[in-house]
Structure 1
Amino acid sequence: MSLTSLRSTAGTGRPPALGPTARSSLALRFALRELRGGLRGFGVFLACLALGVAAIAGVGSFSRSLTDGLAREGTSLLGGDAAFTLVQREASADEMGLLRAGGTVSSVATLRAMARAGTGDALTSSLVEAKAVDGHYPMVGAVELEPPQPLQGALAREGDAFGAVADPLLAERLNLKTGDRFQLGSATLVLKGLITREPDVLATGIGFGPRLMISLDALHASALLQPGSLVHWHYRVKLDRPATLTDFLDSVQKGAPQSGFEVRTREAATPRLETNVKRFTEYLTLVGLTALLVGGVGVANAVKSHLDTKRSVIATLKSLGAPGGTVFSVYLVEVGLIAAVGIALGLAVGAALPFALNAAFGYLLPVPIEPGVQPMALVLATLYGALIALAFALWPLGLSHDVPVSALFRDDVEAGPRRPRRAYVVMTALAVGALAVLAVLASEDRRIAIYYLVAAASVLVTLRLVGLAIMALARRLPRPRNTSARLALANIHRPAALTPTIVLSLGLGLTLLVTLALIDRSLTRELTASLPAQAPSFFFLDIPSTQESEFTRYVQDKAPSGDVEIVPMLRGRLISLGGRPVEDITPPPEFAWVLSSDRGVTYARKVPEGSTVAEGQWWAPDYTGPPLVSFEKEIADAFGLKIGDTVTVNVLGRTITAKIANLREVEWERLSINFVMVFSPSTFAGAPHTLLATLSLPDGGSDATERAVARAVATDFPAVTAVRVKEALTQIGEIVGNLLMAIRGASLVTLVASVLVLAGALAAGQHHRVYDAVILKTLGATRARLVGAYALEYAALGLVTAVVAVGAGTVAAYVVVTQVMNLAFSWSSGAALGAAGVALVLTVGFGLIGTWRALGQKPARILRNL
């Protein structure tokens, strides 16, 4: 179908009868002809789509590459085909027999301890993550040392000392070099080398202290293995027949059902890491989706601006008999083709991201990455990009249906129809619904996805309403006497004003900026200000229960003004909750940690400090009846537990079932000694255990006092592990800081999209600015006065938008900090002033750039068409 055929039917008063195939062919031909002139005006459209799609495709591709790498290297990361972990006790002879029946077994023990070097006032100490290995370690992979040497030779005993290898950080902290001696408990060690690569570091975990690797003989010589000591025993099994993994696991379970083994296999070597990767991936995907949503506003602006420039073309088509539906189809195909280009660009960048990151940073990561093209991630990104483009383009495209033929004869600078026909409204709603369904179905945690969608919709609607409210208020304000101010006020509420678009595009970016700034502020304040003032100065671990009185007197003598609190400490693994095996329980994501590994447990005669009984009654101090347990209320509610339900735990190979007597509210932020589960005193009668103590110094204590206490305890109680809370908080602060840096970097994608959309929104209003400038200049307005009026307009819009963004960002940050992170919220005036400054710079800067170009237009061409 051509213009000739359209012309031939123009006199009939009826549009040509076209079938679906002919209509599609015609739309494609006209769209391709339109695109011969290039993609001018669609720069923001392409950039927004490409940016958002690249973010989603890149995050998904990198995550899947990481997951593939973990799966491929599962045996190496785990150190075998299967790993069995016990806490506070070694495996019995019968249990070891079951494990050895499957293949070769390597025994590894991990614990926190204090390493010491020097004597007297020159003594230095450091918390270490000690790892004791046997002669079979490592069964898979290799430990790389500097200087290069066999591991077993480096750990061998020489005279009265045992060999050891360590993380370079430990050598730095203790000022050690190769060949120097130092102590661990009662054992003398010689540093033989530095660890440059540890194949199973992710399986045994990365702790607060640097790694120290020794032999099992050295561990036994250290006297750190006391009854109830907090030691994790890992037994890695390399099967003689790897294909029999399932049968082997079944045989161990049947042979030792009460062992309390925590079992991991090569198929899920690092479940906690994989869970964290999925959570972070989900967050980054939502960031990418936010960038796309912001970019959607840019899509709508670009489509509207393009159609404004094509009004005469549309009028020509309609004057030749083309129906509104045909016009809609032509420009829908055109927009679809341009969107395909933007999506393709984003997919190319996203697909290349894993390869680029692996090439640039792969050697720095302790996690194996297997870069590759990830079809599912690319398909998901394509669907997101296509639905965003469709959802935001359908509305302005629908308005093209009713462009009048009269537009062919004169320029129309007034606002056109504000709402398209019902069919296009329904199509837009369907596209938005499809986008929401996709976001929920593709999410690991659908609850978070639903919250996100509700929040995103609320912000979009709120900003849209704020824009309309600003126009309504400006319309009702008295007119200023100053000409520039009066013109600025009129520009804010006139027909086709840019106010709603500017508020929406700028407000989204600023809201995110304020939210991140306030979360950052609250975390920083919590870690550096409030916690150290309330928290203990020290945690002391693995105090022998026989030395409770002696240790308490000793610490009180070294720190007379300090307050010592000491409680029993055991570790147990949950077997069932409320009669349900933990294997059958799907925990809420924020409480999955409760079931993921062993838990600290204790017993007490009175309510622990920092706890308050919320429901039920505490037992009598002399209670000796059946086992009772006090459970933390928030966690109990999450798992549906109530008073009278039973909890079964395995402690030291013994299964204990206790009835919930009460629920406690715990002030975890105080860092006082507290546990999820506190049992009645007689529950663990006779069980070997150690003690956990805290020392709280007045005003947090000085560094000199803390170092003196740490040095004294390390000298006279070498088996006790002293953890300085300030050092631990500093390390946590570094981890959180790195995480925040990653979040800021990822969120930069959304901020860039917001800036692009703002620039596009102002460019979309260029057509109207040209008419304004020409008419006003013809009536005698000077360029300086016009620039002043536009500057006032943009400054007012930027300032109001900043105020709204500060409010919305504050609410969002408050919810995240208090409800998700369970921390105290801290508001920052710096974030508010920063947001206002960014808003003013962006709106005034971009606005005046566009306005300056409009002021340079020649009047004759514009006036001729009026």
Structure 2
Amino acid sequence: MSGFASRVRIAFRIALRELRGGLKGFYIFLACIALGTGAIAAVNSVSTAITDAISSEGRTLLAGDMRFELNNREANAEEQRFLQGLGTVSLTTALRSMARLPDGADQSLVELKAVDDAYPLYGSFTAEPDQPLSELLAQRNGAYGAVVAQLLLDRMNMAVGDEILVGNARFRINGVIVNEPDSISDGFGFAPRFLTSRTALLASGLTETGSLVEQAYKVRFSDPAPDPAIIRQRAQTELPNAGWSIRSSDRAAPALTENIERFSQFLTLVGLTALVVGGVGVANAVRAFLDSKRTVIATLKCVGAPASVVVMVYLIQITLVASVGILIGLVLGAIAPPITASYLAGILPISTEATLYPRALLLAAVFGILVTLAFAILPLGHARQVPATALFREQGFETRGLPSWPYLLATALALASLAALAIFSSEERRIATVFLIAMAAGFVLLRVVAYLIAVAARCSPRIHSAALRLAVGNIHRPGALTPAVTLSLGLGLSLLVALALIDGNLRRELTGNLPDRAPNFFFVDIQGSELDSFRSLVERQAPEGKLVEVPMLRGRILALNGTDVAKINVPPEGRWVLRGDRGLTYARNVPENSSVTEGAWWQDGYAGEPLVSFSEQEGRELGLKIGDTVTVNVLGRSITARIANFRKVQWESLSMNFVMVFSPNTFAGAPHAWLATLIDGEATSAEEATILRSVTQAFPTITTVRVKDALEVVDRLVGQLATAIRAAAALALIASVLVLSGALAAGNRARTHDAVILKTLGATRAMLIRAFTYEYMLLGAATALFALIAGGGIAWYVLSQIMKLPSNFLPDVAVMTILIALVVTIGIGLAGTWRILGQKAAPVLREL
């Protein structure tokens, strides 16, 4: 043991002395480690900052300790007694409606929210002008008060003090919303906020029976505060048929938290890709560094230093330099949350104060250490096997074969630890596993591609051009750059191509194909007494249009096969079906844009036990089969229906499609509203505006949604997400560029010898530049071709198999990818080669 400790001390002392000369040769190494570590640290720190803020500010974000949500009805007397027994209760009502100018000149969809005098129980509501909310919402001169989002004023060219109509009531806009504490927990809305009093809402006539209304009862506990889990259990036990959705302040915005965690996981995996791609750069940098130290290594071996000491010397140096890179990455990760907060202020609850998140930083540091070890051990193993005599003869580390088994085992353990950490630190382990398998397959495939490129170059016919012939020879010769270039650019470009194709197809679908297939309008909250008059009006305004009407209810799934859904482990892709309330309908016949794939549809006039038709994809994700039962709560009544069939639903049509369609006898006598769509492919924008104005004026309580407006909102969101994803994916391309630079640096000595010998034999600098340019062009084009195929395959799978959308190959993406590959490859290649071409021949020839 003392002998080993002595060798470690000696190795450590030699390593520190050598590092006095600076970090020359390690700059690319540093950049690769810092980039990947910083990406992982930043993503996880920002994610933790947001989720922690949601948790710590849960009461304010929820505007209560607990939230009990009912749809389409208010709590009955028994339910109200239960809620009031918990503490102070505040009721807010949310729905969508149309706001219109008094003269009928313009109208806009709004997210209407009505609050009572107790709102908010936590936090503070602020508006401009800064007045008490009760004064802003007070009724004066026959007009109810309202405060609205600035977007509504901009959209309708209005100002504070103007009047507006919503439903059957007249409102005066008394202010602009500055801070609405519970806006995040209430969920994302497609329309601007319109906040008023519950008294005004009742006067508007928008809360008729069957209207799509969310009633949120927010409770502030009396002291001492009870455990929310106990209250949840009591609510479900004492009032099993309430059908309310319960949320506590520690999970104030579960959908937002889950989406942030998923997006964070994706960006973490992208950062890991950059780090692993950078690992190849680490290997190249270590090999180039050891190559530059060949005389030192030879001297150490000749004076009796054991091979293990030599390996320890450079392992210690590599570890110390990697620590510097990791530290730089951690600093980047630590400053990311406050920087991000400055851009997200007012959107997400994230503090601008500098706060460290140790778990996120530790995770990134461990990733950096494991990548360093995984990619540095093999070059060290090669250096151990080279004898001193070979080093003095200027034979570098281009050793064929593999190092001894301890180095292979250590590398395998580091890679296995890296994979295990990536999987077990992920919320969605299956996705992380698939991602890592795909990355490993990509590495193997790129090595195969590099081999095939070399074989193709070796088998190519003889070319008359000396420069081109030299370029082809450089591609397949021993120690060629082909594997490094293919690997470094292949992964980054494939990821960029896949993301660009997904983004392009989504945008084409949203702005091109989808609007052509989608309805012009959705009409919501049509009362049964209005249906005939509404139908007549639409037929007059759009005689060539197709009006489709379906009954509409809201219900929440309580149990599957008698088991509470809260106790069922559902795959992530199916959880949305069980979260909150779902739209429900009943039908005698199979709905349009869907077809029965299994089971049978009920007969006309069926009067047996309640039956339900379930969407096939969602049903499979929930693990359901024909004959299983589904229990839903509708208007406070629990109904159990048996699955009679599965349907394949064309969700992309944007027509009226439902996850669950019940047999007509299921909801016999239940009050409900109607939902309708209008499809008129020939309608112009002016004609659509006329239809919208006519329906809004004649039926002020009907909510009209113009599909094109909704698609524009979605398109903006997709664009923002795509920008963020492309920025993250650019990390992988930057890492690829660093790897390519490292590969060139690692091969500089061999290139110098080649250039000097060729110049001695009569080659001009211009001819050598042409040769290197041809070489890099051929390698870049071959890599770009692989990226197009691989990225196109990934995009097709995501679009057609996951998103269930059409997938088309976009030529402009192909051209841009090839251009990027060529510019990057040729530019960096020539930049690294220029200095080599200027070497004097004599000093190099004396070393050969």
TM-score by length of 2: 0.98
Question: Aligned partners of 1:732, 1:408: CA distance in 2, in Å?
Answer: 63
The offset of 1:625, in angstroms, is 1.2
What letter matches 1:479 in structure 2?
A: R
| Paired positions, count | 846
- What is the CA distance between 1:362 and its match in structure 2? 4.8
Q: Deviations over 1:373-418 (max 9, x none)?
A: 1111111101100111111111111101111221343222683233
Match of residue 676 from structure 2: 693
Superposed CA deviations along residues 54-94 of structure 1, whole A, max 9, x for unmatched, are 11111111111111111111000001111100000001122
Report the counterpart of residue 108 of structure 1 in structure 2.
92
Distance in 2 (CA, whole Å) between partners of 1:671 and 1:409 is: 73
- What aligned pairs does 1:142-221 form with structure 2 within 5 A after superposition? 142-221=124-203
- Name the SS for the 2:479 alignment partner: coil
Distance 1:536 1:830 in 2: 30
* Residue 112 (structure 1) shift: 0.4
**In the alignment, structure 1 residue 42 sits paired with structure 2 residue 22:** no
How far did residue 589 of structure 1 move? 1.2
Q: CA deviation at 1:451?
A: 0.7
Partner of 1:226 in structure 2?
A: 208
Alignment partner of 2:108 out of 117, 126, 133:
126
Measured after TM superposition, the shift of residue 242 of structure 1 is: 5.2
Q: Which residue of 2 aligns with 1:566?
A: 549
Q: Structure 2 CA distance, aligned partners of 1:482 and 1:744?
A: 41
Aligned to 2:481: 498
CA distance in 2, matches of 1:250, 1:456: 45
Structure 1 residue 550, shift from structure 2 partner:
2.2
What SS does the aligned partner of 1:459 have?
A: helix
**Mapping of 1:353-432 within 5 angstroms?**
353-358=336-341, 360-369=342-351, 371-412=354-395, 415-432=398-415
Deviations 1:770-803 (A, max 9, x none): 1011111111111111111111111111111111
Choose which of 8, 33, 39 in structure 2 pairs with 1:24.
8
Q: Deviations over 1:276-326 (max 9, x none)?
A: 110011011111101101110110000011111112222222222223222
Further displaced range: 423-432 or 73-82: 423-432
Q: Residue 648 of structure 2: which of 658, 665, 672 is its match?
A: 665
What does 1:508-523 correspond to in 2, within 5 Å? 508-523=491-506
User: Is contact 1:311–1:403 with CA below 8 Å preserved after alignment?
Assistant: no
Letter in 1 for 2:53: G
What is the correspondence of 1:413-812 to structure 2 with a 5 Å cutoff? Answer: 415-699=398-682, 701-812=683-794
Q: Give the conservation status (yes or no) of the 8 Å contact 2:146–2:194.
A: yes
Does structure 2 retain, via aligned residues, the 8 Å contact 1:62–1:371?
no
CA contact (8 A) 1:239 1:245 kept: no
Asked whether the equivalents of residues 291 and 397 of structure 2 are also in contact (C-alpha less than 8 Å), the reply is no
| Partner residue of 2:315 out of 316, 326, 332 | 332
Residue 248 of structure 2 aligns with an amino acid whose one-letter code is: T
CA–CA distance in 1 between the matches of 2:330 and 2:348?
A: 27
In the alignment, is residue 821 of structure 1 matched against residue 795 of structure 2? no
Conserved 8 A contact 1:414-1:495: no
- In structure 2, C-alpha distance between the alignment counterparts of 1:116 and 1:69, rounded to whole Å: 38
| Cα deviation code 1:564-616 (max 9, x no counterpart) | 00000000010111222101112211221111110110000000001100000
Structure 1 pair 220–501 and aligned structure 2 pair: CA distance change class (3 A)? same
Give the distance between the partners of 2:176 and 2:310, measured in 1 at CA: 72
1:233 is paired with a residue whose SS is strand
Q: Which amino acid aligns with 1:455?
A: A
Identity of aligned residues (%): 51
| Match status 1:138 vs 2:116 | no
Tell me by how many angstroms 1:743 deviates: 0.9
Amino acid at match of 2:42: G
Partner secondary structure for residue 672 of structure 1: coil
Name the CA distance, whole Å, in 2 between partners of 1:408 and 1:45: 23
Q: Tell whether 2:54 aligns with 1:70.
A: yes
For residue 541 of structure 1, give the secondary structure of its aligned residue in structure 2.
strand
Distance 1:491 1:698 in 2: 60
Q: CA deviation at 1:255?
A: 2.9
Counterparts of 1:413 and 1:310, CA distance in 2: 10
**Matching residue's letter, 1:102:** L
| Contact map agreement 1:314 1:403 (CA 8 A) in 2 | no
Distance 1:403 1:671 in 2: 67
* Mapped partners of 2:655, 2:777: distance in 1: 51
Structure 1 CA distance for aligned equivalents of residues 612 and 234 of structure 2: 33
Instruction: Quote the offset at 1:760 in angstroms.
Output: 1.7
Question: Aligned equivalents of 2:247 and 2:542: distance in 1?
Answer: 44
Question: Contact 1:73/1:368 (CA < 8 Å) preserved in 2?
Answer: no
> Which has the larger displacement, 482-491 or 83-92?
482-491
Deviations 1:114-144 (A, max 9, x none): 0110325xx2110000001111111211211
- Contact 1:574/1:582 (8 A) holds in 2: yes
| Paired residue type of 1:793 | E
| SS of the residue 1:831 aligns to | helix
> 1:486, 1:628 → 2: CA distance?
74
1:299 matched residue in structure 2: 282
Q: Which runs of 5+ in 1 are unaligned?
A: 1-16
> Aligned AA for 1:665?
K
Structure 1 position 859 matched with structure 2 position 829: no
Aligned match of 1:259 in 220, 230, 242? 242
CA contact (8 A) 2:493 2:784 kept: yes
Superposed, 1:267-306 pairs within 5 Å as: 267-306=250-289
1:345 aligned residue: 328
Q: State the shift of 1:489 in Å.
A: 1.3
Residues 579 and 257 (structure 1 numbering): CA distance in 2 closer, same or farther, change over 3 Å?
Answer: closer
Map of 2:832 onto structure 1: 850
Note the C-alpha offset of 1:371. 5.0
- Contact 1:414–1:496, Cα closer than 8 Å, also in 2: no
Q: SS in structure 2 opposite 1:113?
A: strand
The answer as to whether partners of 1:521 and 1:827 remain within 8 angstroms in 2 is no
**CA distance in 2: counterparts of 1:119 and 1:766, whole angstroms:** 77
Task: Determine if contact 2:46/2:337 at 8 Å carries over to the other structure.
Answer: yes
1:544 partner amino acid: Q
SS of alignment partner, residue 98 of structure 1? helix
- Distance in 1 separating the partners of 2:396 and 2:113: 76
SS at match of 2:602: coil
Contact 1:82 1:238 in 2 (8 A): yes
Quick one: which amino acid aligns to residue 222 of structure 1? S
Q: Partners in 1 of 2:101 and 2:698 — Cα distance? A: 14
CA distance in 2, matches of 1:417, 1:515: 35
Asked if the contact 1:65/1:371 (under 8 Å) is kept, the reply is no
CA distance in 2, matches of 1:491, 1:458: 27
CA positional deviation for 1:18 = 7.5
- Letter in structure 1 aligned against 2:258: T
1:115–1:127 contact (8 Å) kept in structure 2? yes
Paired amino acid for 1:365: I
Question: Amino acid of the residue matched to residue 53 of structure 1?
Answer: T
Secondary structure of the structure 2 residue equivalent to 1:698:
coil
Q: CA deviation at 1:365?
A: 2.6
1:476-499 Cα shifts (integer Å, max 9, x gaps): 223312211121111111111111
Q: In structure 2, the residue corresponding to 1:678 is in which secondary structure?
A: strand
